């Protein structure tokens, strides 16, 4: 690779096939590809089309065969159970090979789907890699999701097997995963052939006869199996992300491009070498967990930290710094929300001072916009480069970042810096016209996307085109708005659809509206995301009641909050509802959600010429301004 960012980036754009072919040399291929990029079926581009490999082989077997058997692959750190365990590459390979054998015994073959519904325990990592080993397609469902959300994913992916655990642990709470799983299977028309359940000591599940199998029993009888070669373009996993209609979209990731770019990114974006300790404080249920807890670090031969805890409360605001110090973490990746939570409880950084964190060279933050105040606070506290990076579930790895492994560029607070090599980011207006520097519009990426990004949506090519490529032909539409300044720095200002970002988790306001609309007293509703200092955005419900309702408003509001918590999950943080007389709309009946978001966030907005009744908009403006002023006043105390 050339020695500075500009050279590397320009090569990736002017000669993408040559650029990624060079990167692909770092991956072991059973059958070397002859075509780097197949663009014969636009917009469905395929990388390394006729090559064959195995992701699990590259993540485990390759390192063991090259003398790294005793090197630590995973550090499992669980303050909620008071345990720390180190797992070597050799030990991990043995576990993965045995589970792969157990799955084969259950009739799993290449292309079958397996849903993983597990907490942050080593067995979850083992399961993901075992699926990859035999060519099964895994779909990890975040453990915080309710049975309803899990059922939707079961219905769509149609897994042959579901692998879960008896429970998860969040602080002092025990979450009954198996109970949720039972309910989800009841709700889904599709039924798995069997479930494998890992029994945790804190809570044992009552297994269902003829359906459920104990993890330990399954593993005891299994014989290890080797890796199955798969095509570069075969799916590795499906990961569901919130859609604007409330129905989750199954992002499909391939094997070849995914392995190539994740290994490349570990060195050139994150500045890591094999053997370094890397920690992404996320969850395996999210894309960060897939890319940078499991696959990226292991493909690169690093040690990855699997953390079952919180930034605060397990036990205190020094939890992250304890992990960094104890395990000698070189690069740490987390969400701005986590840093804001630490800041709120330890503004002076007293807990940080208890630990020696000189091992930490870089802090990466992603998941939502990194506000300048948070950036300056943590940057001054740690006195190391704090690097914002921006990406999506769909892309699987950063779109914009800074580059310790190439050249560390000057940092501008509020910007995730510049385009990552392979991504040609542009700003377009509503009509698809390119905008000049500092002009705000739609953030898009010129096709083809680089390797490792989504190849389609699960069994829905038309939805893929409708969601990402139809609006701006020749481009991938990120759905985010923003601008690029005169120095090429990207500024991401937020979503332009109804998906909001709560503490780094993308959630559909449409899904919340669907729940609220089921309440018998509700005539219509809208949910918008409003800016929140801690979590980035929080959902706010605006509800119009039926005209003949005599019930107490407080009772209705409590009902709505409980309904969303039950159907979507506590992760939605849905706690605020305003009862209003009417919602502002266009003459065609479209609710002005974007306008209401702008009002709530104190941003300038234009009243559409098609607004149906300006008096309704005026009333909503007064209500929202009063509500936000009240929040601001209360936050002082």
3-state secondary structure 603-625: CCCCCCCCECCHHHHHHHHHHHH
- State what percent of residues in the chain have pLDDT above 90: 74
Could you tell me which residues come within 8 angstroms of residue 552 by beta carbon, excluding any fewer than 6 positions away?
Answer: none
What is the residue-wise DSSP string for 11-59? Answer: HHHHSHHHHHHHHHTTS--SB--S-SEE-TTTT--EESTT-EE-HHIII
Q: Using one digit for the tens of pLDDT, what is the confidence trace for 233-275?
A: 999 999 998 654 457 899 999 999 999 999 999 999 999 999 9
Considering the four listed CATH numbers 3.90.420.10, 3.30.300.30, 3.40.50.12780, 3.40.50.970, the one that applies to the domain covering 5-309+389-469 is 3.40.50.12780
Looking at domain 504-634, its CATH superfamily turns out to be ANL, C-terminal domain (3.30.300.30)
Rounding to the nearest 10 degrees, give the CA dihedral for residues 340, 341, 347, 348.
-100
Residues 6+ apart with CB under 8 A from 66: none
* CA distance linking residue 115 with residue 195, whole number of Å: 9
Region at 474 (left for phi over 0; alpha for psi -120 to 50; beta for the rest): left
CA separation for the pair 591, 611 (Å, rounded): 9
Structure tokens at 371: 């506000």
pLDDT computed for residue 244 by the predictor? 45
Given CA atoms 569, 571, 577, 582 in this order, what sign does their dihedral have? negative
Question: In terms of DSSP H, where are the helices of 481-636?
Answer: 509-516, 553-567, 593-600, 614-634
Between CA 280 and CA 184 the distance in angstroms is 29
The rounded distance, in Å, linking the Cα atoms of 184 and 143 is 12
Does residue 179 contact residue 167 with C-beta atoms inside 8 Å? no
Give SS3 for 104. Answer: helix
Reading the block at residue 476, the tokens are 């991938």
Which residues make beta-bridge pairs with 555? none
* CB-based contact 119:144 (threshold 8 Å): no
Contact by Cβ (8 Å): 255, 231: yes
Give pLDDT, residue 245.
Answer: 46
Residue length of the chain = 637
Degrees to nearest 5, angle at CA 258 with 239 and 500: 40
Instruction: Identify the pLDDT of residue 636.
Output: 47
Q: By the 8 A CB rule, do 289 and 128 touch?
A: no
Question: Residue 500's beta-bridge partner residues?
Answer: 507
User: In which residue ranges of the chain is pLDDT below 70?
Assistant: 1-2, 242-246, 497-499, 506, 550-551, 586-589, 608-610, 632-637
Per-position b or e across 513-543, b if 16+ CB within 10 A of its CB: bbbbeebebbebbbbbbbbbebbbbbbbbbb
| pTM given for the model | 0.86
Q: Sketch the domain layout of the chain as residue ranges.
A: 5-309+389-469, 504-634
Distance in angstroms (rounded) separating the CA atoms of residues 57 and 80: 32
Rounded distance, CA 327 to CA 310, Å?
17
For residue 19, give every residue at least 6 positions away whose Cβ sits within 8 Å of its Cβ, in sequence order, or none. 11, 12, 421, 422
Cβ atoms of 16 and 8 closer than 8 Å = no
């Amino acid at each position: 690779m050339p020695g500075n960012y500009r050279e590397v980036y320009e090569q990736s754009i002017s000669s993408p096939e040559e650029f990624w072919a060079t990167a692909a040399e770092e991956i072991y291929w059973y059958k070397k590809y002859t075509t780097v990029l197949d663009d014969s079926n636009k917009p469905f581009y395929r990388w390394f089309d006729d090559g064959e490999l195995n992701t699990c082989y590259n993540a485990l077997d390759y390192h063991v065969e090259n003398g790294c058997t005793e090197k630590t692959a995973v550090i499992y750190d669980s303050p909620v159970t008071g345990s720390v365990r180190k797992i070597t590459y050799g030990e991990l390979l043995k576990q993965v090979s045995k589970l792969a054998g157990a799955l084969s015994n259950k009739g799993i073959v290449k292309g079958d789907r397996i849903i993983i519904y597990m907490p942050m325990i080593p067995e979850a990592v083992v399961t993901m890699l075992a699926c990859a080993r035999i060519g099964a397609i895994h779909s990890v469902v975040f453990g915080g999701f309710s049975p309803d959300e899990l059922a939707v994913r079961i219905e769509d992916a149609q897994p042959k097997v579901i692998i879960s655990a008896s429970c998860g642990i969040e602080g002092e709470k025990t979450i009954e995963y198996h109970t949720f799983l039972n309910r989800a299977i009841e709700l889904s028309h599709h039924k798995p052939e069997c479930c494998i359940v890992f029994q945790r000591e804190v809570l044992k599940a009552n297994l269902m006869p003829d359906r459920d199998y104990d993890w330990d029993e399954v593993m005891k009888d299994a014989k290890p199996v080797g890796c199955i070669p798969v095509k570069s373009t075969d799916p590795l996993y499906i990961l569901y992300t919130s859609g604007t209609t409330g129905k989750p979209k199954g992002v499909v990731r391939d094997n070849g491009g995914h392995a190539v770019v994740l290994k490349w990114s570990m060195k050139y974006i994150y500045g890591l070498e094999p053997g370094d300790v890397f920690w992404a404080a996320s969850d395996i249920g999210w894309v960060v967990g897939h890319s940078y807890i499991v696959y990226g670090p292991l493909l690169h031969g690093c040690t990855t930290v699997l953390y079952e805890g919180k930034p605060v409360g397990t036990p205190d605001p020094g939890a992250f710094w304890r992990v960094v110090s104890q395990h000698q973490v070189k690069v740490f990746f987390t969400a701005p929300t986590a840093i804001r939570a630490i800041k709120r409880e330890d503004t002076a950084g007293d807990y940080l001072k208890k630990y020696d964190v000189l091992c930490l060279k870089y802090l990466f933050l992603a998941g939502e916009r990194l506000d300048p105040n948070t950036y300056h606070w943590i940057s001054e506290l740690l006195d190391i480069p704090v690097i914002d990076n921006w990406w999506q579930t769909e892309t699987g790895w950063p779109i914009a970042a800074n580059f310790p492994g190439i050249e560390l560029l000057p940092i501008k607070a509020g910007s995730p810096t510049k385009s990552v090599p392979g991504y040609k980011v542009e700003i377009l207006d509503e009509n698809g016209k390119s905008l000049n520097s500092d002009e705000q519009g739609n953030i898009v990426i010129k096709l083809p996307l680089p390797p490792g990004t989504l190849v389609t949506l699960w069994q829905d090519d038309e939805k893929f085109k409708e969601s990402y490529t139809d609006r701006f032909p020749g481009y991938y539409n990120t759905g985010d708005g923003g601008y690029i300044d005169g120095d090429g720095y990207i500024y991401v200002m937020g979503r332009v659809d109804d998906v909001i970002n709560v503490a780094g988790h993308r959630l559909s306001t449409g899904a919340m509206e669907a729940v609220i609309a089921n309440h018998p007293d509700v005539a219509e509703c809208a949910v918008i995301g409003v800016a929140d200092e801690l979590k980035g955005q929080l959902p706010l419900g605006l509800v119009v009641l039926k005209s003949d309702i005599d019930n107490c408003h407080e009772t209705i509001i409590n009902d709505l909050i409980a309904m969303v918590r039950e159907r979507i999950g506590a992760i939605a943080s849905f706690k605020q509802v305003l009862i209003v007389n009417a919602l502002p709309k266009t003459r065609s009946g479209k609710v002005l959600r974007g306008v209401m978001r702008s009002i709530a966030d104190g941003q300038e907005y234009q009243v559409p010429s098609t607004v149906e009744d300006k008096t309704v908009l005026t009333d909503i403006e007064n209500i929202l301004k009063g509500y936000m002023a009240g929040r601001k006043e209360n936050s002082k105390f």
